[in-house]
Amino acid sequence: MRAQTGAAMGPRATATASIEADYYLDLVVDGKIDVELKAIGQLSAVHEAQVLSYLKASGLQLGLLFNFGEESLRFKRIVLSADHHSRNSRNSRTESPAG
């Protein structure tokens, strides 16, 4: 297993828009999984949307969103569907552990 921290995604042009900012993934594992780390009171849809945006921009299909700021560790597994070029959020899904 290989992990890379601070993986950069520079300005990127897409079919619909041009992104003029640099973004950094917290951690990329085996060149396949985007791991995003937070230490906030509670995760929200904004944080999931951030991971989805990173997945689309990086070409990765799987993201893990961890939050260390709650009473106990919380995480979400975010999967980008094969049709990742669509702007429709129904083409992606998030999963949380049971319990």
Token pair 């569907």: residue = 81
Considering Cα of 53, then 31, then 20, then 37, what sign does the dihedral take? Answer: positive
Q: pLDDT band at 48, cuts 50/70/90?
A: very high
Task: Dump the DSSP string for 50-75.
Answer: HHHHHHHHHT--EEEEEE-SSSS-EE
Q: Which domains does the chain have, with CATH numbers?
A: 3-95 (3.90.320.10)
Check residue 15 and give its pLDDT: 45
CA 44/CA 28 separation, integer angstroms: 22
What is the model's pLDDT at position 23?
A: 75
Most confidently modeled range among 1-5, 10-14, 20-24, 71-75: 71-75
Give residue 13's pLDDT band: very low, low, confident or very high (50, 70, 90). Answer: very low
Check whether 88 has a pLDDT greater than 50.
no
pLDDT of residue 6: 64
According to the per-residue pLDDT averaged within each range, which of 4-8, 10-14, 54-58, 85-89 is highest? 54-58
